[in-house]
Amino acid sequence: MPDQFSRKLRIAVLATTFVGLSAAANCGKSSNSDHSTSSMTALIPAGWDGATDWEGSRWEVSDPAESLSAQLIQENKNAAPHCTKAPDQNVPYLVRMKSFRGPSLLASETFLRIESTSELEALAGKTHGGGQGGCAGIEVISGPGLTTCEINLVKTTSAAITPPVYDETVKLSAAESLFSSATVANILSTITTLQGLSSRYYSGASGPAASNQVEAIFRGAYAGSSWSSGIISTAQVSHTGIAANQPSVVAGLTGATDDTTIVVIGSHLDSINHSDQSNAPGADDNASGVAILAETMRVLAANNVRFKRRVEWHAYGAEEIGLIGSGQIANSYAADGKKVSAMLQVDMASYAKDGASETIHLFHDDTNAILRRSAKDLLTTYLGGNFSDLGQHVIGTSDHRSWYRAGFPTVFPFENPAAYNMNMHTANDTLANATSPGLAVRISRLILAFLSHHAGIVGSETDYANKVAAASRDPDIKMAVLDYDQVPTEARPSDLVDGGTVTVFSAPQSMTSLEICGVKASAATACVSDRMIGTEIVSGATPGGRKFFYVVFPAGSHATPERAFGYDTNNSPSHARSVSLLKK
């Protein structure tokens, strides 16, 4: 950001700084992946061969009989408390900005007080522009119609997660049968229609027209189907303040048995061009997302599909100016105590640098580990895998952050962040440069599977029960629990504090990764708390030739039963074990 512009802004809080290790200083949705391995063999208790549980003087492992139940688990999640603190009336906007600057790619997170709408628009233009000054993404934290309690936002951790209706590792015939109906032609047709508006900039003359067009596209997706009989409704959602010119569009399909638990599929409908707001075709960013939503609606309506839970498709206004449309909607859902069990965002989904890749990339920032695992399991179960889960750090985030900040679990599948569409936010973001429509179709199919499991496709109960009964997982995951003072100083993880524990897991060599979460009961199979990822203990010769992983738990976190999941080289679930860890 040029210095002369920076001086106009009053910096409120300088929060976290971190270093990205991307290969090039390019603007985009993300920076690098962040991976590390650990050589911490001192965590393995002396004399433990990993073939049985290690029970020292303080902890014991209670292992119930392994069984897989066909019972459908439907838990309710209480929404996180809603922020109601009013913004400073003398400062209309508080903006969170994450930026990359200079050749070292130093990224900073800063909170700025913006005194007028014109300054906010100017900031948005600068952050979407890139150039030698670096690049950034902005998010309006406080403003008319949108408030927050805290300036220094932290990662939301849900105390309880609503499990999907059907386990994602069980292939449902009804879900798989939908995939062939999703077509490239329909997606390209919708992108062409939205691109034809020339610009969908939130405050321009075409701002309301974009909302009208998307509403018509959504209604057309199910026109003439059984959904038209009144089980679905589509309407524009008006916004207050700066976003008043561009309503969001929400379509809601009534749940067949539960209309209070909601699964949200989101995208944004606006576009931006930092140099000419009248020429912002936004084909990839984000006509592709709206087109995918419309295609999933069309496929489901044409096949007369119903879901047990309520499903909503959201196309948000004013995303590019700071996630305002989604921020107001997500905050209102939290304030009203609505139960959103899962939110999946689609933003930029039709481009690959090599013109052929259909790899789906999953972001870690502002997303939930359970839903990332859910997406990986669905991709493995239905679509042959072909994904990355590398922990990319988001710079210019998308609407899922609004939901994550409001306390709801989110997931964000995306095109390649290391080779993103350089035409974004320019006049060249056109259909001609949307080089991978196959990726858009593949994300459409992921959404069809996601809805089938998380919302519960009606009519699959018998198919699911039969397949669950025939399923099996190797329970060969052994455990050792170490209190803080039992962990050798040289192997003490940096995030382990007094009162916490380290749980060490032993597994066969065929298991390549491990995740663990809290469950409702000791024999349960579905997570009700966020997943934690095991770190592999790397050594030249581990005891018994087995693999070892560890997870750091904060104080008091073993109060509920836990389930460990193991995955093989194909990312297929190969091991599972439910346990209760009891203090002696």
Per the CB < 8 A criterion, the answer to whether 417 and 30 are in contact is yes
Q: Is the dihedral of CA 276, 281, 285, 289 positive or negative?
A: positive
Q: DSSP characters for 511-546?
A: --EEEEEEBSSTT--SBSS--EEPEEE--SS-GGG-
User: CB of 326 within 8 A of CB of 410?
Assistant: no
Beta bridge partners of 137: 98
Fold of the domain built from segment(s) 181-248+260-369+381-397+414-436: Aminopeptidase (3.40.630)
Q: CA nearest 319: which of 254, 387, 375, 398?
A: 398
ω into 286 cis (within 30 of 0):
yes
Q: List the end-to-end C-alpha distance of the chain, in Å, as a whole number.
A: 58
> C-alpha distances in angstroms, 325 versus 198, 204, 400?
21, 16, 12
d(CA 59, CA 44): 15
pTM of the model as a whole? 0.83
Task: Please give the Cα distance from 467 to 530 (Å, whole number).
Answer: 26
In the chain, where the domains are located: 41-68+472-583, 181-248+260-369+381-397+414-436
Per-residue tens of pLDDT for the chain, all 584 residues:
223 323 333 333 322 222 222 222 234 443 333 334 456 888 999 889 999 999 888 888 887 644 322 222 222 222 233 333 444 555 677 777 765 443 333 345 566 777 788 888 887 877 776 443 345 677 887 777 776 544 333 334 444 688 999 999 999 999 999 999 999 999 999 999 999 999 999 998 999 999 999 999 999 999 999 999 899 999 999 999 999 999 999 999 999 999 999 999 999 999 999 889 999 999 999 999 999 999 999 999 999 999 999 999 999 999 999 999 999 999 999 999 999 999 999 999 999 888 778 999 998 888 999 999 999 999 999 999 999 987 656 566 899 999 999 989 999 999 988 788 889 999 999 999 999 999 999 999 999 999 999 999 999 999 999 988 888 889 999 999 999 999 998 889 989 999 999 999 999 999 999 999 988 877 778 888 889 999 999 876 788 889 999 999 998 888 888 999 999 999 999 999 988 888 88
Cα four-point dihedral sign 569, 572, 578, 583: positive
Residue 559, token pair as written in the block: 């109060």
Does 2.60.40.10 match the CATH number of domain 41-68+472-583?
Answer: yes
The amino acid at 121:
E
